[in-house]
Chain A
Amino acid sequence: MKRRTALLVGLCGLVGFASPAVAQQKETRIGIVTLQMKAPYFVAMVRALEAEGRANNVKTFVADGNGDVAKVNSDIEDLLAKGVDGLIMNISPLEALPGGMAAIKKAGKPLVLVNRRLKGGEYDAWIGVDNLNTGAGVGEVIAKRMGGKGNLLMIRGGPEDNSTGNARRDGVLSKVKDTGIKVIFAPEFGKWTEDGGIRVMEDMLAKHKDINAVFCEGDVMCLGAQKAIADAKRTQEIQIFGFDGQKAAIEQIMKGSNFVATGVNSADAIAKAGFKTMMDLLAGKKPAQQDSTTPVQVVTQENAKEIYKADALF
């Protein structure tokens, strides 16, 4: 019994001992808030921000919501209580968090949003991908490769109000709507997973005997769709177009497979720009414009090799 008591008391102390003691000197501290770290893109974003922190001699604290919006809110409160100098947030796929953003505003700390531009609150700067115009870039490639005719299947990520997915879809549609290409929307969402992509593609292959190309709002779903198409032995008939510039997707494009093109969404570039903006804000400099995007870039077999990074996390 005494041993058990000591064990529990010891473990409670462990909570405090589990991390280095709080820094005493006045160094800059930035909080990084993410909704989850269970998908490669989000991990890549966080790691890139941490790397920027080290490069700039700034201490970063990562708060991972573990998929729970309430925990994200609590994380923001705790980071503010801790006294961080600023926060960089990527809580995609959440579209809004009024409570948390109001708390940051009230504390008077700068807030930089990366990747997902949140609604319902004030922020100092947003850096992300220009989903609409990059989508249009992919759309142009689609229209050209399809020769202006045929059936294009669209697999959406979901949910209905996902601004990122909607912008990408709209970008593609803007370039194919005036051609002879017929667009078929998959009724089910691909849910931004490879598994979802496989399942939706299988259903669509069974239902439609005549698909010429498929566009997925995210590469991860395309990679799944590619597998489903290969299983159905229709690889020669169907071209695949995606978005995100995921490493595996670029590999497929480089190989000259039926994966033809994807739009670039570089976590590294966004993290770099986001961190620089935060440092500017802390030095009292406001950004030239509140919302800014990374340059539009589409990956095809021509430029795949130079864009490809073998050691990329995403």
Chain B
Amino acid sequence: MRPEGVAARFGRWWFAGGEPRLSALDLALIASFLALLLGGAWFAEAFFTERNMSNLMRQVVANGLISLGMLLVILTGGIDLSVGSVVALGGVLFAGITDQLGIGPAVVVAIAAGAAAGLVNGTIVARFKLQSFIVTLATMGIVRGVVYLYTEVPISPSHSGFRDLGATLVGVVPLSMIIMLGCYALVWFYLNRTPAGRATVAIGGNEETVRLAGVDVQRTVMVAYMLSGALSALSGAILVSRLGIAQPSLGIAYELDAIAACVIGGAALGGGAGSVGGTLFGVLTLGVINNLLNLVGVKSFYQDIVKGTVIILAVLLVATKREKK
């Protein structure tokens, strides 16, 4: 079997954008990731232990869900800076309602609130044609204000099942990771197998063409922002469950890690390129780097420098790849 054939099929499956082959640069990214894992295993003896792997899986869920929503928005050519505030919104609502209504209804309310925030974002961006950067920057502040109005102090529910969502293990795999992978599968299906999802990817590339093809662009964009809000709120609920406490100050600067994960995974800020698989890769890369830096004992200020450098390098690689097309 010629290597090109295998790579082509793998590439087509991997990249929703329809890239016909796995380029040398993609292989370089994957090789680097493997080098990272091996280097980590060599220098941090605790890395490949069951306990650390479980922790790592739990730790990436928060950013994983937020990045998935961010991907949807980035594909349409926009950006959602309000995700961090929506994480807090989902978290405090989940914690605040659990004692009265129970876990299930509380999660539903949290997700609904996130979707509502996303709907506001999407409506203003799609219908009134305002820049998503400005709109979501504003809603970032508004939602945070709403969170503090709801509760000025952290909420720690006494419901015995509150910590289940974040702490339960199914074998060695955390329940939250299973939920996250489920969401990834659903969004992958949406983007690759449904007309509305495929339109989402196309809108970032050329909105006019999509509109002329008869797609309701406004509604598609609104759905993207709603999903981003809903996923961020779900992330918040899972996060506070893991921590055992919901702080109104949660989620500050989370949008940056989400954007970083999408970009490392090949998304273009401006729309038209990006994939679910790539985003998952980006999320895992960031998670592994964070975990390794801690295990190896790198001082916190160096951690920021290392992470920032890795992001720049990843963006360079992705940009180079795009230039060659």
A, B bound? yes
Q: A77 to B59, Cβ gap below 8 A?
A: yes
CB distance from B163 to the nearest CB of A (A): 7
Q: A11 to B313, Cβ gap below 8 A?
A: yes
Is the CB of A161 closer than 8 A to any CB of chain B?
A: yes
**Chain A, 13-41, CB within 8 A of any chain B CB:** 13-19, 21-22, 37
Q: Which residue of A lies closest to B293 (CB)?
A: A15
Q: Which residue of A lies closest to B53 (CB)?
A: A81
Q: B297 to A19, Cβ gap below 8 A?
A: yes
Distance between Cα atoms of A22 and B47 in the complex (Å): 12
- Which residues on the A side are within 8 Å of B313 (C-beta)? 7-8, 11
- Which of A97-105, A139-147, A212-220 contacts the other chain? A97-105
CB distance from A117 to the nearest CB of B (A): 15
- Which residues on the A side are within 8 Å of B32 (C-beta)? 5, 8-9, 11-12
CB distance from B267 to the nearest CB of A (A): 18
Q: Give the size range of A's interface with the partner.
A: 35 or more
Is the CB of A293 closer than 8 A to any CB of chain B?
A: no
Q: B306 to A15, Cβ gap below 8 A?
A: yes
Q: How many residues of B contact A (CB 8 A)?
A: 63
- Which residues on the B side are within 8 Å of A18 (C-beta)? 293, 296, 298, 302, 306
8 Å CB contact of B310 from A5, A11, A83? A11
- Which residues on the A side are within 8 Å of B290 (C-beta)? 74
Q: B245 to A9, Cβ gap below 8 A?
A: no
Q: Which residue of A lies closest to B157 (CB)?
A: A98
- 0/1 string, B29-53, CB within 8 A of A gives 1: 1011101100110111110010110
Distance between Cα atoms of A78 and B289 in the complex (Å): 12
- 0/1 string, B135-171, CB within 8 A of A gives 1: 0000000000000000011101000000100110000
CB distance from A259 to the nearest CB of B (A): 30
Q: Which residue of A lies closest to B29 (CB)?
A: A8
Chain A to chain B contacts (Cβ below 8 Å), 6 pairs: A5-B25, A12-B32, A12-B33, A19-B43, A69-B249, A74-B291
Other CB < 8 Å A-B pairs besides A78-B52, A102-B244, 7 of them? A8-B32, A12-B35, A17-B39, A64-B299, A64-B300, A78-B55, A81-B51
